[in-house]
Structure 1
Amino acid sequence: MKTDSLQKRKLYDVTAPNKSTGMINGRSSNVLNWDDVRYPWAYPLYKNMLGNFWTPFEINMGADIKTWQELTKTEQDSFAKIIGLLAFLDSVQTDYSSKIAGYITDSSVNALMIILAQQEVVHNHSYSYVLSSLVSKSEQEEIFEYWKTDAVLRERNDFIAKGYESFTEEMTPETMLRSLIFDVILEGLFFFASFAFFYDLARQGKMTASSQMINYINRDEQLHVLLFTNIFKEILVENPTLVTAELQEFVYDTFEEAVRLEIKWSHYIIGNKFDGIDGHDLEEYVKFTANKRLAQLGFTEKLYPNAQNNMKWIRYFEDIDSSKQDFFEGKSRQYTKTDEDNGFDDL
């Protein structure tokens, strides 16, 4: 197999082992046996992703319907544009994950990708669910068109889309690695300033049901980042010739541009419009998050050495373990549904 090509995963291969021989360009029978997988992190991640199962129908929007009318016009405008952003990003993410999964030659990781894609579909459903509770059908349709017409929104969306297209147009190990960087930026950076807006509303007792849904999405996205950073690092371990100065330069340059775009978006959509979020603190938070994602990818040198998270209150919402408890209702947020087979005693 040439180093500049990618091999699609076979439907089945009777001559290959069940445990794959590699993340990409490997061999596998494509029969999944969770007790015989290559990567020790795959099964625990599988259990965590299943444990996060949720649907929008579980969330009662009644309180938000009342609160929506009490929001200022500025709050409503930011709320709507952020939903428009999230709808675009999760739509693109669903399609990208299915495309890249075809070149993952490990059946356990491919299974994780399928769960991830399903969760992205649920995220998109949640945005429709929220909007259908709050605004008219025509307004909902208008919000889902924002990504086409809003200049600031379009700039950052095109940045991600073009990064993904570079892989779909030329499928090589190098373009796959680069697309994974855009993926981590999408799921691990481009959502987070927008999430902060919802959490700040919730701190004030506003739109708490919407915030609960965003917390579910946030929790999912953190696991998605973990999956994609693991894939990225495993590819480099298995293919050391791909570890180049050029790749490192690309990673840092791409993150730097992503931070610029996210800060521009955060000032545009939030800025200093709201008492609970300081524009400078939000900018530092974006840089802090970028450093965090680089470290997860294996790049320990900080892009922003002095960046700190001054919005300490947001840690509660972002922490996966803390999000097991509903901030507003004391309700379990990470759970496994019971039935006659597993019983309540198994929880």
Structure 2
Amino acid sequence: MKQLQERKLYDVTAPNASTGIINGHSSNVLNWDDVRFHWAYPLYKNMLANFWTPFEINMSNDVKQFENLETQEKEAFEKIIGLLAFLDSIQTDYSMHVARYLTDSSLSALMTVLSFQEVVHNQSYSYVLSSITTKGKQDEIFEYWKHDAVLRERNDFIAEGYEAFVSNPTPQTFLESIVYDVILEGLNFYSGFSFFYNLARNQKMVSTSTMINYINRDEQLHVHLFANIFKELLKEFPELNTDKNHRFVQETFRKGAELEIKWAKYIIGERTQGIDLKDLESYIKFMANKRVNELGMERPFEGYRTNPMRWIKIFEDVNSGKTDFFEQKSRQYTKVSTDNGFDEL
């Protein structure tokens, strides 16, 4: 299959609005009033409205509480932070690789904002750890992904999918890499998120969970961006819209869900009060169905149309002018559209 061509720095012979999402022609001059995709600018504004930094969040109560967590809670807390740090690190680099091949300048701009947000996410994990533990322990946590066998298995699954695109950039490998991306951003975080949200509803580590909530909100928009790119890619390259690729999406999400469930049982287990493992397994399959549905494909799991952990709903309700659920103070942030929520299919 034809290789992807990197976007030119500028092209005086091409229009500002691109002729193709990849391997097209564009001047590379960004004029938001002259872009090809109607959804690009609203998404850009939504991503900017979500702007936040970790420094806004006061960690003093979490510092006091961390030492009083149960041993199992501390271990899960540290390993999940280690996982998230890995995922957002490679996501930053992957998104920059993608941006090189997106012909459309508006999509390249969106990918740049996404990359910046991933850097902020990654820095937030350092901020949390530097607040609650020693530098030596922080360094150890950031090494977990190399040595923990269960963590390594699920990380390698994503990384290998990304590497296939980076080493051989074609429309096919690009399409496949988007599937891995949506698994990373739309599925791999969710058992970890549920752990932090469960702590918060028990009034533990509330500031950390506030930060996780903001990350969660960003990731929903990232999934929305990549799902749109995926669907536009199928329109422009109908030769990619095959039964084989439909099966690839379903089978890859099944594998991704299996690894997420394995990780959840390993790191959360029966020891975490407030999280039923059967509900969590159903929740992960529900999220897999939701994400595949967003890609326009048939869902990989029969049933699983409703969210079995509906208490999570409140953690997406950080709305402009509303009181923050966690810290009981006003925050001027925009809520992600309910279309991107996770209540039901």
Instruction: Tell me the residue number matched to 1:125.
Output: 123
Instruction: Answer yes or no: is the 8 Å Cα contact 2:251–2:300 preserved in 1.
Output: no
1:1-347 equivalences under 5 Å are: 4-299=2-297, 301-307=298-304, 308-318=306-316, 325-328=323-326, 329-332=328-331, 334=333
Partner SS for 1:152: helix
Partner SS for 1:272: helix
- Among all aligned residue pairs of Structure 1 and Structure 2, give the percentage whose two residues are the same amino acid: 62
Label 1:177 to 1:323 Cα distance change in 2 as closer, same or farther (>3 A). Answer: farther
Please report how far the alpha carbon of residue 213 of structure 1 lies from its aligned counterpart in structure 2 after TM superposition: 0.3
Instruction: Answer yes or no: is the 8 Å Cα contact 2:198–2:274 preserved in 1.
Output: yes
Q: Distance in 2 between matches of 1:119 and 1:148?
A: 24
Q: Which moved more, 1:243-252 or 1:195-204?
A: 243-252
Q: Distance in 2 between matches of 1:67 and 1:156?
A: 30
Label 1:324 to 1:174 Cα distance change in 2 as closer, same or farther (>3 A). Answer: farther
**Partner letter of residue 26 of structure 2?**
S
Q: Distance in 2 between matches of 1:306 and 1:322?
A: 35
Q: Distance in 2 between matches of 1:231 and 1:320?
A: 27
Partner SS for 2:61: helix
Q: Distance in 1 between matches of 2:294 and 2:323?
A: 26
Partner SS for 1:189: helix
**Partner letter of residue 302 of structure 1?**
R
Instruction: Answer yes or no: is the 8 Å Cα contact 2:318–2:324 preserved in 1.
Output: no
Post-superposition CA distance 1:106-131 (Å, at most 9, x none): 00000000000000000010000000
Instruction: Answer yes or no: is the 8 Å Cα contact 1:324–1:334 preserved in 2.
Output: no
Q: Which 5+ residue runs of structure 2 have no aligned equivalent?
A: 336-345
Please report how far the alpha carbon of residue 322 of structure 1 lies from its aligned counterpart in structure 2 after TM superposition: 8.6
Instruction: Answer yes or no: is the 8 Å Cα contact 1:316–1:322 preserved in 2.
Output: no
Instruction: Answer yes or no: is the 8 Å Cα contact 1:163–1:178 preserved in 2.
Output: yes
Q: Which 5+ residue runs of structure 1 have no aligned equivalent?
A: 337-347
Post-superposition CA distance 1:190-222 (Å, at most 9, x none): 001100000000001000000000000000000
Instruction: Answer yes or no: is the 8 Å Cα contact 2:13–2:27 preserved in 1.
Output: yes
Instruction: Answer yes or no: is the 8 Å Cα contact 1:219–1:323 preserved in 2.
Output: no
Q: Distance in 1 between matches of 2:25 and 2:64?
A: 56
Partner SS for 1:141: helix
Q: Distance in 1 between matches of 2:334 and 2:260?
A: 33
Please report how far the alpha carbon of residue 25 of structure 1 lies from its aligned counterpart in structure 2 after TM superposition: 1.0
**TM-score normalised per structure 2:** 0.94
Partner SS for 1:154: helix
Label 1:192 to 1:284 Cα distance change in 2 as closer, same or farther (>3 A). Answer: same
Partner SS for 1:54: coil
**Partner letter of residue 233 of structure 1?**
K
Instruction: Answer yes or no: is the 8 Å Cα contact 2:79–2:144 preserved in 1.
Output: yes
Label 1:12 to 1:27 Cα distance change in 2 as closer, same or farther (>3 A). Answer: same
Q: How many residues align?
A: 333
